[in-house]
Structure 1
């Protein structure tokens, strides 16, 4: 096995060296590859550098690890590594396999994560550094010390709703409709709140100012990008106006950016535009991977770090350390950004297909395309009761309202649009549609 060196990093040299040996048959299926110590000596580098190269090859499904034994050549499937577009399910499976690789790597030779306790409530430092670098790719600039990891977005919102803020105010302002778990949080804990209507065009800024002017709003919880459930996104101009009002009336903004990975335009966030440390930025990682990954990052103004961490100690000892470490590896090895690209390709394909289906519908004037389906205006429905009992897979957003649902819109998920749209026509007064 020759060692042709190029002007690349050491871990890339090791990875290329072993990959060539496998592809040329010098290392055969099932054969053990040289040990970490041997490779570190051969390439005059650290063991960590070798480990990074081995993880890279594991990610490419060229080798696999046997605990307390080493790494072995994995049997290759024909055409496995051809750069072909992935279908939806293949896409999901690939993300799952990638993350499972990272979990397996986390468990190999890292028993300290299993048998020792860590007391950093903010999350492992290396994980926060990985997230800091990832966020910087999305124009979210911060320091690792201002990032706090929580066990999901729900825990983050719970902490923020309970702690005292520097403005000494008590009410929480929420959009209606909004994330159903935020509604549940306020309702079950009987927290003081106010609401502001959000429509497909956004919110009324004059109404927002009147609410801020009351002097009681602790923070405004908002989903600025791909709002749940409406799909609306604020423009940069609207964000600037909202921030200006927040500064003027001493209100914090809690920016839940849970679908940032689906925004191909990389529009500026509230956090990016914030000049006065008013924004608490929340990012979940479950959208990119799977809902069971309960790790969420919060970027906090410095004055909120201590109260957040103090309260978090009441809720748990720490967020899942194995999952934290696996997420760090998933980010550092480029898997996160690779899967993000897959998500954007998939979304573009779905958008194209949905536009075609919408254009062919007799309900065209009543339909609005969103990031995950189609909204249907209910103003011309013949009978709401008949529609609700039709058996069709429709989301009426009841849980997205903290009080009574107005039943103005209903959503059809992307996967159901082709089947459901034709069946809806008979339930609407299509003769009145323009």
Structure 2
């Protein structure tokens, strides 16, 4: 099996360009099913989850043409709806959580869809109720077959309605929006997600002929149209990569410039890392991080320990809490990390503790980090990546640690980070891919 061997403790230097946004890509690529006209999408990340979805679109009958490394054209003119019934579809769809995103477009355009229970990260319960309750309010009927683990949905007459979402789910909002753009009448979605990636989807749909207002707020109004046309679209840079590289620079005492970050789309991400004591400069649309031998965690105004927690946008994204946690391990000061949304995402801290970090796992949702202030270096160990974000957090820890680390199950990391070892090598990191069987679990 593939693993990374890392010899850490070395400062890095140079420029790095964040890939296109993974979470945006899964929405945008699914939206090509809404029209039979050609769509051209650029800045697509070359990662496993996205490539699996592109392959799935091709299997459905979408004409896929790769124009260059990050740009594809798509034309969903002849869709094979019988493919839903195949065992091949069941196998591919169940291995990719993002496959749920094709349901909304298929319901809108063809009135029916089926999807196997999707896979993905093992980071706690990730319910699909929000998606299906929204479809149901639009007039869809769905049935879950517990024997085959298939969701079957029928929506021959979608009609606009008022939807109050029980949670501000990004993928749930995106799926319902894509179903509603071709529904009859007006759909109002309250408590909608308003992440930049969702805004990107809505803006693209409007260029295709949709009528969506309220973009950027939690109240979306969608006037259904008869059909949509083609357009071009460019993905935003991946904000999770940007945050990951900020943490990497601080942990490894490196001088790094993160290029073309779309700074004004990052929300409070830069300020959260600033509260950890990390210095940076905005140079044009680049983030420059100087070498820092120490960084000190802020406190609240009354002097109490800082708490960093996740929340729906414009709150702090849960995908970066793992990065904040590992970065805080070498800061001066203490911080409480509160992961509210996924109850298993902090379980990777046992590996950090084995490396020498001082972390108290209070419960499945909270961890207290007691910063070492680099008085003691983390030590390299052998470990296994449990999910995408924890995997990159462990990778950052290994790059800052003394000695050799081996990280197994790097397929998880590669689901979300494109050519990660090559880009780190370009910064001077001592990392290589090896074949190794894990001896630790």
- Considering Cα pairs closer than 8 Å and 6+ residues apart, tell me whether 1 or 2 has the greater RCO: 2
> Which of the five TM-score ranges fits, normalised by the shorter chain?
under 0.3
Greater Cα radius of gyration, structure 1 or 2: 1
* TM score, norm. by length of structure 2: 0.24
Greater fraction strand: 2
TM-score by length of 1: 0.24
